[in-house]
């Protein structure tokens, strides 16, 4: 359902590909878009090359590759739309496309063929196809014997040999039951699909929303959710980051610079969520918030007695933004996903296979920043409208929407990729490395 009232009008340039995608996002949220403004025009292949996404896609020893899906334009559009509804120059001089690759700029991740840039996700052959598998934690590797119903090697090469004896369907179904992030890599998204689902539980009033900043409670971790609240912080929100004292944000074990980039200037609270006192303190913080964002499976909070729908109904004007791997409905609500395998599940690797003949992982955890950008737009729209919504986005569905909404009319990805590649060659455009932000990296609005 639409979030914003139909009378809500937004000025946005719409004469470019990114502008048209941004217009669709805002109209999906219920806004009326005035597109009579000049737009920045750029070939989508050049956007791929300039933002570093092309440099992150392809074999390590081969040339960088373009995937014929205009993901940089989608990212630009989401950030421009967010700037429009917040009426704030969020992250000045930064394009949304740059947010897709900045983690790699900090960590030094590089393209790695059928392995993700970070090395935790692989595209592996099965008896009848190909799966995308992420093993990010020691406990994931410990699950492999149960997954394969046999002793399993603790290395990717040996595991790849074992998977050839199993069917894709069996591996995916059994893996999801065990809590592994495993997907069928051969699925390609066909047609448009929604990127957000919003249900009303207790509508608030939008009066005076623009005259004060929202109070945000960030219960998320890793990249998608923290990026979303990072953008809200830059738009003027007060953000409180909450972590379990016994289970802090997993991103803390990665790059410190990237963690700081996503979380600097947020207030930080650590709670013992295994205790009744800690859970009560969390409930109190939720009751004081305008927006809650979380990125866990629904059962994680429900097991602590915190039901999103009940909290929205009991707290006037509360907006609840939920980011999952595949959605909140059963059985998808229980499926594990990370940014790389969610991009594979959406079809990016299958499209790359179709147009290049190679199995390749696209970018670096591509579903995370794309979803964070889209979530920031939808969550702020809910707050502007008075709150009362459960706003649902998923990593896989966000990427599927980007693919479906921008697909070639004739479905010919090979033809598009050939045209994009020829454009780059004819104009002598080389793939640029991912870039760190400049001196305004931590700028936010007080």
The alpha carbon dihedral of 232, 241, 196, 199 has a sign of negative
Instruction: Please list the pLDDT of the chain residue by residue as tens digits (446 residues).
Output: 688 877 788 888 876 888 889 989 999 999 988 876 655 678 999 999 999 999 999 999 999 999 999 999 999 999 999 999 999 999 998 999 999 999 999 999 999 999 999 999 999 999 999 999 999 999 999 999 999 999 989 999 999 999 999 999 999 999 999 999 999 999 887 777 899 999 887 666 665 555 678 999 999 999 999 999 999 999 999 999 998 888 888 889 889 999 999 999 999 999 988 899 989 999 999 999 999 999 988 888 898 889 999 999 999 899 999 999 999 999 999 999 999 999 999 999 999 999 999 999 999 999 999 999 999 999 999 999 999 999 999 999 999 999 999 999 898 999 999 999 999 999 999 999 999 987 544 444 33
The DSSP H or E segment spanning 33 is strand 32-34
Query: Is the pTM here over 0.85, yes or no?
Result: yes
The DSSP H or E segment spanning 293 is strand 291-294
Domains in the chain, CATH or no CATH each: 9-110+191-331+348-426 (3.40.50.10540)
What is the C-alpha to C-alpha distance for residues 418 and 52, in angstroms, rounded to an integer? 20
Beta bridge partner(s), residue 10 = 33
- The tokens of 416 are what? 């598009």
Question: Can you state the percent helix, strand and coil of the chain, rounding each to 5?
Answer: 40, 15, 45
Assign residue 17 a region: left if phi > 0, alpha if psi is -120 to 50, beta otherwise?
alpha
* C-alpha 334: how far from chain center: 18
Amino acid 104: pLDDT: 96
What is the C-alpha to C-alpha distance for residues 257 and 103, in angstroms, rounded to an integer? 9
Beta bridge partner(s), residue 215 = 238
What is the C-alpha to C-alpha distance for residues 407 and 49, in angstroms, rounded to an integer? 19
Q: Are strands 121-125 and 130-134 parallel, antiparallel or unpaired?
A: antiparallel
């Amino acid at each position: 359902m639409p979030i914003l009232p139909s009378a809500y009008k937004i000025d946005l340039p719409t004469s470019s590909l990114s502008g048209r995608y941004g217009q669709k996002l805002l109209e999906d949220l219920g806004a009326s878009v005035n597109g009579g403004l000049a737009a920045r025009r750029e070939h989508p292949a050049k956007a791929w090359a300039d933002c570093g996404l092309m440099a992150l896609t392809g074999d390590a020893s081969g040339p960088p590759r373009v995937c014929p899906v205009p993901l940089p334009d989608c990212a630009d559009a989401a950030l421009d739309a967010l700037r429009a509804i917040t009426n704030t120059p969020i992250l000045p001089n930064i394009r949304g496309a740059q947010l897709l690759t900045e983690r790699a700029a900090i960590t030094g991740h590089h393209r790695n063929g059928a392995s993700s840039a970070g090395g935790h996700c692989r595209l592996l052959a099965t008896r009848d196809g190909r799966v995308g598998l992420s093993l990010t934690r020691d406990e994931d590797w410990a699950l492999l014997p149960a997954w394969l119903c046999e002793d399993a090697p603790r290395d990717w090469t040996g595991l790849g040999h074992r998977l050839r004896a199993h069917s894709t369907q069996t591996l995916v179904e059994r893996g999801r039951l065990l809590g592994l992030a495993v997907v069928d890599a051969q699925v390609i998204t066909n047609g448009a699909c929604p990127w957000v689902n919003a249900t009303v539980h207790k509508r608030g009033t939008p009066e005076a929303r623009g005259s004060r900043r929202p109070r945000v409670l960030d219960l998320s971790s890793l990249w998608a959710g923290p990026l979303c609240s990072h953008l809200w912080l830059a738009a003027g929100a007060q953000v409180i980051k909450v972590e379990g004292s016994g289970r802090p944000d997993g991103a803390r074990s990665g790059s410190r610079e990237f963690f700081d980039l996503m979380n600097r200037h947020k207030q930080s609270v650590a709670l013992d969520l295994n205790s009744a006192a800690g859970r009560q303190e969390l409930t109190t913080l939720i009751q004081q918030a305008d927006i809650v964002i979380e990125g866990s499976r629904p059962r994680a909070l429900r097991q602590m007695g915190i039901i999103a729908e009940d909290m929205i109904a009991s707290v006037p004007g509360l907006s609840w933004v939920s980011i999952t791997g595949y959605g909140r409905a059963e059985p998808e609500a229980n499926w594990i996903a990370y940014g790389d395998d969610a991009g594979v599940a959406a079809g990016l690797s299958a499209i790359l296979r179709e147009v290049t003949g190679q199995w390749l992982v696209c970018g670096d955890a591509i579903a995370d920043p794309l979803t964070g950008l889209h979530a920031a737009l939808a969550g702020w729209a809910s707050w502007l409208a008075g709150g009362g919504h459960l706003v649902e986005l998923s990593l896989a569905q966000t990427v599927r929407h980007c693919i479906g909404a921008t697909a070639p009319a004739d479905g010919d990805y090979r033809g598009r990729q050939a045209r994009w590649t020829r454009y780059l060659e004819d104009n002598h455009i080389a793939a640029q490395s991912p870039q760190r932000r400049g001196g305004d990296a931590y700028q936010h609005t007080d």
